[in-house]
Amino acid sequence: MAAFILAVIVDGHRRGQEACIEAGLIHVCLEHLQSSSSPNDSQTEPLLLQWLCLCLGKLWEDFTEAQAMGLLHGATIVFAPLLSEPQPEVRASAVFALGTLLNVGFDSCAGVGDGECDDDDKFRAEVSIVKSMLSVASDGSPLVRAEVAAALARFAFGHNKHLKSIAAAYWKPQTNSFLNSIPSLANIKDSIGGYPTQNQHMPRGSIVSSQIGPLRVGNDNSSVVRDRCGSSSRPLAGSGIMHGSPLSDDSSHHSDSGILNDGFSNGVVNHGGQKPLDNALYSQCVHAMCTLAKDPSPRIANLGRRVLSIIGIEQVVAKPFKSTGEATGLARSSSWFDMNGGRSPLTSRTPPVSPPRLNYLSGIRRVFSLEFRPHLMNSPDSGLADPLLGSGGATGTSDHSLLPQSIIYNWSCGHFSKPLLMAGDDSEAIIAGREKKEKFALVHITKCQHSAVSRLTNPIAKWDTRGTQMVLMQPFSPVVIAADGNERIRIWNHEEATLLNSFDNHDFPDKGISKLCLMNELDDSLLLAASSDGNIRIWKDYTLKGKQKLVTAFSSIHGHKPGVRSVNAVVDWQQQSGYLYASGEISSIMAWDLDKEQLVNPIPSSSDRSISALAASQVHGGQLAAGFVDGSVRLYDIRTPEMLICGLRPHTQRVEKVVGIGFQPGLDPGKIVSASQAGDIQFLDIRNHNSAYLTIEAHRGSLTALAVHRHAPIIASSSAKQLIKVFSLEGDQLGTIRYYPTLMAQKIGSVSCLNFHPYQVLLAAGAADACVCIYADENTQAR
């Protein structure tokens, strides 16, 4: 609370800043932060870390004397470890504090001697700050990436000419094909595609694309260019980009409808007098800016494009942006306080795996959405000081308003804008609902384990929809979710045969869905949609028509193999550990902790071949199996130091890629089912490294999908040759599906995806050229 009050005192108020400097506030705050990172001290409350960072950031924001004192006290060294803290709010606040240490030239080093302004210490500090920004440019939290974009904007403003020359060198060969993969601003509605690859080499001409129309690298003498409608480009919105809502949908779309040109050189100031840094560092900065401009979160992509405009990347939009009015309020997980109620979040337990082993109902922190509320930003009763009050001592206020603004401070103030001790009224109802679902799951798990499936060929529901690539069934309601090749997501109630909702996962031109998963099954589940390029988008309220909201978005894959054009991402979610695993055309498996919104550790794949199939155990947290394009299979456990448990090569007769892999039902962690594109299904026990203990020649080539039931002893496979087969774990064939349930007995199409209901013996199948069907046992009545 004290740190919050001091932050309000110094927020844009020069007299408050000077008074706090005289009282030694910089030293006090840095000392607290430094002691928190000491291994001998107990863990500091994250909320205190957050507000210490925000207080310091506000103290030296646009105040050169305070910035110099912060650098003198080693602030860059103190903040560095905070960038890896588990709480995204702390990381974002640390980025904010580092970003405001950058002098963008507004004060012209007022109060500090010229020699001191350009000395080597300040130069090294600036290099350190920029490298810190680059280290978190691909952070899993949009809140952190937004602060990185705002910080890079300040850096770009001060080093405009140097960055512009680097950008021009990259883009000169292909001036009409810049910003490769950046979607048209006219098409932005709910999300943006692209995959950040911060550590990847940036090829020439690959940064900017013709999606946006004519693009130009500006120069110091560029004239105002007008778009097709005749309206001149306007500089970045004077009120900042947020219009009062952190990362909100109404964030300055109109300012992007013209041309963003030449780093404010057109009639506005252009500070290029900073001491130049190393060209390699400038190149990394340009790369990071372009990565942000391709961010899967539309608001971060908007920020990234605004940063590019500062270094002279001009965007001409062919047609004006039309807002859809669909709010996709960004939200993030929180492990330590609930901004909506000021209380600790309820623990969300993993769906049960078996009645006799209730100890497996271990929990993870609940990933839930925190709505960014517009009233927190500019509300007259928020208790925030007017940021322009008393700032007469700071010159260049009009210049400063042109930069993309940080949002973490005003967003964080929302925590103190309401009673902190108010108990949640809905906690009992939430617990009761969770217990009801647990009871349902336990009963149906027992039924699945003892089910005697004779023939799983009875179609009980069918919808005509073409191009289906992924299908998924909700565990506690009669809802089926399907996504097609254009990443259009459709949700049906299969009992009532009604379409509940339909929406696009994103408007990016490169389409392809890799995986659909449900997170937090025992609560209000979230829908995780993974694109083929490795971008992850998580949706809430997805069953409500037109009410779906994007909770978060990030790129799960970094660092492509040389010469690889597409990622071909494979993804799986593990509820018990709270980890998301992602791989593809890379040399490792990326493990993401979605509660912390942070990359845990890349797992070396121990192979020079790419991973083509991935499955995380839903029983044993930390275990996952991977199938490779050369037919090999490997089992990993991230809880062990070496991570790799064993490697097998079961598909030896016809070596083709593994298209499906899964853990067998039950509690045995060592039994895996692997299916090759050649058509054979191998049953593996990792305790026997010699060979598979059971082989099924399921199809004569062209195997397209494999599904393993979570609890019932059955599996299913499909073929491009219009065929679905169901087998027992002993290898007995339980049924074959060839025809649709129509009077003409039309043959099914090329089957592209299969998925079992987690707690019932139901099989959902999607065909690339026809429809989605749900199949049950012969005794089940069709609806």
Query: What pLDDT is stored for residue 209 in this prediction?
Result: 35
Least confident window among 171-185, 235-249, 592-606? 235-249
* Residue 499: band (very low, low, confident or very high) from pLDDT cuts 50, 70, 90: very high
Residue 488 has pLDDT above 80, yes or no: yes
3-state secondary structure of 635: strand
Please report the pLDDT score of residue 160 as a whole number. 86
**Regarding predicted confidence, which is higher, 356 or 82?**
82
HSE-CB of 758 using CA atoms within 13 angstroms: 23
Half-sphere exposure of 39 (CA within 13 A, CB side): 0
Averaged confidence pLDDT in the chain: 75
pLDDT tens digits for 16-47? 999 999 999 999 999 999 887 666 555 678 99
For the stretch 262-303, pLDDT in tens is 333 333 334 445 667 788 898 999 999 999 999 999 999 999
Q: What mean pLDDT do residues 736-764 have?
A: 80
User: What average pLDDT does this structure show over 327-344?
Assistant: 31
Yes or no: say if 66 and 394 are a contact pair by the CB < 8 Å rule: no
CA 64 to CA 101: how far, in whole Å? Answer: 9
pLDDT recorded at residue 527? 96
State the average pLDDT over residues 712-736. Answer: 91
Q: Give per-residue burial for 662-699: e unless 16+ CB within 10 Å, then b.
A: bbbbeeebbbbbbbbbbbbbbbbbbeeeeebeeebebb
Tell me, what's the pLDDT at 159? Answer: 87
Region 409-425: mean pLDDT is 79
pTM confidence score: 0.79
Mean per-residue pLDDT, 630-657? 89
Q: What is the pLDDT of residues 667-683, one digit of tens each?
A: 777 899 999 999 999 99
pLDDT-based confidence at residue 403 (cuts at 50, 70, 90): confident
Locate 714 and state its tokens.
Answer: 């059955």
Q: Is the pLDDT confidence value at 581 over 80?
A: yes
H-only helix segments in 361-484? 375-378, 397-400, 408-413, 427-449
Return the axis-axis angle of helices 88-100 and 142-158, rounded to nearest 10°. 10
* CB contact at 8 A, 737 and 754: no
10 Å CB burial of residue 233 (0-12, 13-18, 19+) is buried
What are the chain's domains? 1-37+44-104+121-168+276-313+405-413 (1.25.10.10)
> What is the Cα 213 distance to its own chain's centre?
27
Q: How large is the average pLDDT for residues 179-189?
A: 38
**What band does 260 get if pLDDT is binned at 50, 70 and 90?**
very low
Predicted confidence band of residue 561 (pLDDT cuts 50, 70, 90): low
pLDDT of residue 467: 83
**3-state helix/strand/coil string of 86-127:** CCHHHHHHHHHHHHHCCCCCCCCCCCCCHHHHCCHHHHHHHH
Instruction: Calculate what percentage of the chain has a pLDDT beyond 90.
Output: 45
Q: Pick 628 or 319 by higher pLDDT.
A: 628
Region at 317 (left for phi over 0; alpha for psi -120 to 50; beta for the rest):
beta
The answer to whether residue 532 scores a pLDDT higher than 50 is yes
The pLDDT tens digits for 699-710 are 988 899 999 999
Comparing 573 with 248, the larger pLDDT belongs to 573
pLDDT tops 50 at residue 115 = no
pLDDT at 103: 77
CB 746 within 8 A of CB 740: yes
Q: In the structure, what pLDDT confidence band is assigned to residue 741 with cuts at 50, 70 and 90?
A: low
Position 119 scores a pLDDT of 62
The answer to whether the beta carbons of residues 684 and 654 sit under 8 Å apart is no
**Residue in 252, 162, 256 with CA at minimum distance from that of residue 215:** 256
pLDDT the model gives residue 629: 92
CB contact at 8 A, 591 and 579 = yes
Q: What is the DSSP code (8-state) at residue 675?
A: E
Cα–Cα distances in angstroms (integers) from residue 468 to residues 461, 481, 483, 751, in the given order: 16, 10, 6, 9
The pair of three-digit structure tokens given for residue 744, joined into one six-digit string: 């003409």
In the chain, the amino acid numbered 513 is: I
Range 95-106 average pLDDT: 82
